[in-house]
Amino acid sequence: MHLTTRLRTPLLVLAAVGLASAAGPGGTRPRPAGASLRQEEAAMPGTGVGMYTDDSVAHQVSSFTINPKMVSCGVGTLAAGGDSSGPFAMLMYSTRIDTYAVDADAGEIRATGRMRSITKVGGAVVEDAEHDFLAIAASTVRHGGFEDAVHAGGDRFDVHFSTPFWDHYNPMCSPSVVAAGKCRFGGELLLGHIFMPH
């Protein structure tokens, strides 16, 4: 009986500490991700983050960020066993942002500047280059709980660029319809959002 009482007290204390930790600061439970899109838009206006896919990335899942300090995009596969890069992988990130324009009425963010792109094919780096880029993030503008699409489909992200490897002669290049002679990576978002100011 004495041993049971001694064990019960520490267990109750541990349970209480666990509940307090799960509740977060001030005893409140953390807000589930995506619980308030309006709160996130207010906190991060004119930015975007997420994952997309379409034929420009061979229907693989690609991640991206767009904000005044960084534009990035990454896509790739894993080799069998998952311990190294697979048939294709690419990482793109801005080294300089020259312009960053947020058009809330059009539901669009446009960023230009310089970007580094590292492309691996079959596990080998085939290109590590710096180049100009144009990134466009388009939002489905939401008003009062209703969605007014200012462009076809849902939120999307596209980056337009060209390098010695990624040019219109490369059969893997999806030609840009926005920037003549350049390639495009992009698509409609699977996860994430383009946050527009209200």
Q: Per-residue pLDDT averaged across 168-183, rounded?
A: 92
Residues 59 and 44 in one domain: yes
Predicted pLDDT at 12: 41
The pTM of this model reads 0.74
Residues 68 and 19 in one domain: no
Predicted pLDDT at 167: 93
Predicted pLDDT at 165: 95
- How many domains are contained in the chain? 2
Residues 9 and 75 in one domain: no
Q: How confident is the model at residue 95 (pLDDT cuts 50, 70, 90)?
A: very high
Residues 4 and 67 in one domain: no
pLDDT of 1 > 70? The answer is no
Residues 79 and 14 in one domain: no
The domain in which residue 14 lies consists of 1-30
What gap in Å lies between CA 135 and CA 142, rounded to an integer? 22
Name which of 104, 99, 37, 108 is nearest 68 in CA terms. Answer: 99
Name which of 30, 27, 69 is nearest 47 in CA terms. Answer: 69
Residues 57 and 146 in one domain: yes
